[in-house]
Amino acid sequence: MKYPFGVMPTLFVLLVVPGAQADPIMECANQSGNQVEIGACLADIEKNVDAALEVALGFAMESAKELDTVTERKVVVAALEAGQAAWSAYRDRHCEYAGSTFGGGSGTGIAIRGCRIELARARTGALMKFTN
């Protein structure tokens, strides 16, 4: 299989998603104490994590296509697409809930973005388990 950027999938995730287990809000709070800077930091992290997620999804999709071809079935790609759509809907609803626990306060956006980052990091790792 030819990998994007010439990097093996697991190595790519390790390079692009450093500190995958760290709390993103704490990562940013350690760099700055004010909410504007924390929000900007989280925006940067989310952009990078979303890019890694897209690459991981691409790797998983390539593996799914290969498996469908080898087995002469058309089920793996469809299952991956349905799973990704369900995950995206879950992420959006769950993170809205996380933000709502701030009662509309100034930390709402930070909570939502931190939640989205945490879930995207987890999803990236989960998808990488299904790559060749």
Spatial distance between the Cα atoms of 116 and 15, rounded to a whole number of angstroms: 20
pLDDT tens for 16-71 read 444 445 799 999 998 877 899 999 999 999 999 999 999 999 999 999 999 999 99
Q: With contact defined as beta carbons under 8 Å apart, do 127 and 59 qualify?
A: yes
Cα-only R_g, the chain: 17
10 assigned to some structural domain:
no
Q: For residue 74, what is the domain's CATH number?
A: 1.20.1270.180
pLDDT tens for 79-109 read 999 999 999 999 999 999 999 998 888 899 9
Task: With a cut of 90, say whether residue 8 has pLDDT above it.
Answer: no
Length of the chain: 132
How many structural domains does the chain have? 1
39 assigned to some structural domain:
yes
Burial of 48 (0-12, 13-18, 19+ CB in 10 A): middle
1 assigned to some structural domain:
no
Q: Give the structural domain span for 63.
A: 33-128
- Give me the torsion for CA of 55, 56, 60, 61, rounded to 10°: -30
CA dihedral sign, ordered 13, 14, 19, 20? positive
Task: With a cut of 60, say whether residue 5 has pLDDT above it.
Answer: no
14 assigned to some structural domain:
no
